[in-house]
Amino acid sequence: MTAVTGTIRNGVNTDTMFATLDLIKTQPELAKFQFRATNRWIDGAHNRSTIKGFYAAGGEDTTRTEAFELDAGEPAILLGTDTGPNPAEYLLHALAACLTTSIVYVAAARKVPLTSVESTLTGDMDVRGALGVDPEPRNGFESITVSFRVTGDAPEEKLREVVERATRRSAVYDMVTNGVPVAMEVTTE
Amino acid sequence: MTAVTGTIRNGVNTDTMFATLDLIKTQPELAKFQFRATNRWIDGAHNRSTIKGFYAAGGEDTTRTEAFELDAGEPAILLGTDTGPNPAEYLLHALAACLTTSIVYVAAARKVPLTSVESTLTGDMDVRGALGVDPEPRNGFESITVSFRVTGDAPEEKLREVVERATRRSAVYDMVTNGVPVAMEVTTE
């Protein structure tokens, strides 16, 4: 019992965490990962992504026995029938989820027991850009605001340090703030 | 029957579409939208976003009667228990969904009947960045590759034009390729 509670912090097995970090330090080629999604249009603004396989640590990871399916849509005002969150909302979720997991992992590594991590994200958009009505507004969010409330058994300064370091390590925060090169290929047969 | 089939193309009501575009042209203040997500940590890499309300066209949109809930997670190799797609996979889905809807809407506006839109997205990541093992690799994907297969009742050149214009109009493509300013606020009580 003591051994188990000693290695699990914030729901993260820190022994496994440090073993993984050590392994990747000595064998950096294991750090090459590839994630994937396939998407299929259903009707109107309704489309569905399937997410299952990925490449990790030198081989194809086959531990997922079932695929995840995600439905996207648009509300009526954007010509859909609300078959799911819209793509911009999914981006907010991706950012929230990545920052939250980063906070939880960094806190686990630094022996900070958390009690709650909550966030609200808002993204402001002038839809004239995406609708092609006016070339001036950009297509995406002009800005995103992220408000975190983090509580745990540590002084405020320590909790803020955890959030700051987690932000510097978050994969999606990096992508959303700095952008990523995207290559597009199209076939029509 | 003729009237209905005449205004619905690719599942999109094009009469409503053009009316919306005309309205926003004459009243650009209606183009201000705000999308939102709230997220709550559950345990380890498991967290959940709730998505419901948004601001659109001069007021709070209350047409959604139920909230969407999205669970995120990580696979075992990234210290989770696969409670959902991981945040980087959600970002790929957001990009796929936005490009797909943009293709469908642009095709509807240009009188191109589509029969299928499928895509596969891959994102390559060196996890030494996000794990904090090495400062050299970035945290997020080094690059994303998007492969679309689009078929419809139009010449190849026309279908390629639709994809090209849709890419130039996609909100998430803009954000993922160009980045967005993100403001972070933190409270610890």
What is the predicted ipTM?
0.97
Ranges of residues in chain B with a pLDDT under 50 are 1-4
A66/chain B closest Cα distance in angstroms? 10
- pLDDT of B1 reads 42
Across the range A134-158, mean pLDDT stands at 97
| pLDDT reading at A4 higher than 60 | no
Structure tokens at B132: 């904090």
Q: Quick check: helix, strand or coil at residue A18? A: helix
Work out how many CB contacts closer than 8 A connect A with B: 485
Cβ-defined contact of A87 to B104 (cutoff 8 Å): no
Nearest CB to A169 within list B63, B130, B147: B130
Cβ-defined contact of B188 to A122 (cutoff 8 Å): no
Instruction: Choose among A175, A172, A97, A77: nearest CA to B74.
Output: A97
Q: Taking all residues of chain B, what is their mean pLDDT, rounded to a whole number?
A: 95
Cβ-defined contact of A124 to B49 (cutoff 8 Å): no
Torsions phi, psi for B18 (to 5 deg): -70, -35
Single-letter amino acid, residue B175? M
DSSP run (H or E) holding A15:
helix A14-26
Q: Is the CB of residue A68 less than 8 Å from the CB of residue A76?
A: no
| pLDDT reading at A134 higher than 80 | yes
- pLDDT of B119 reads 98
Q: Decide: residue B102, CB within 10 A, 0-12 exposed, 13-18 middle, 19+ buried.
A: buried
Cβ-defined contact of B95 to A87 (cutoff 8 Å): yes
What is the distance between the alpha carbons of residues A70 and A87, in angstroms, rounded to a whole number? 11
| pLDDT reading at A1 higher than 80 | no
Structure tokens at A61: 């990871």
B23 and A CB contact within 8 Å? no
| pLDDT reading at A6 higher than 60 | no
Question: What DSSP assignment string belongs to B168-185?
Answer: HH-HHHHHHHH---EEEE
A147/chain B closest Cα distance in angstroms? 5
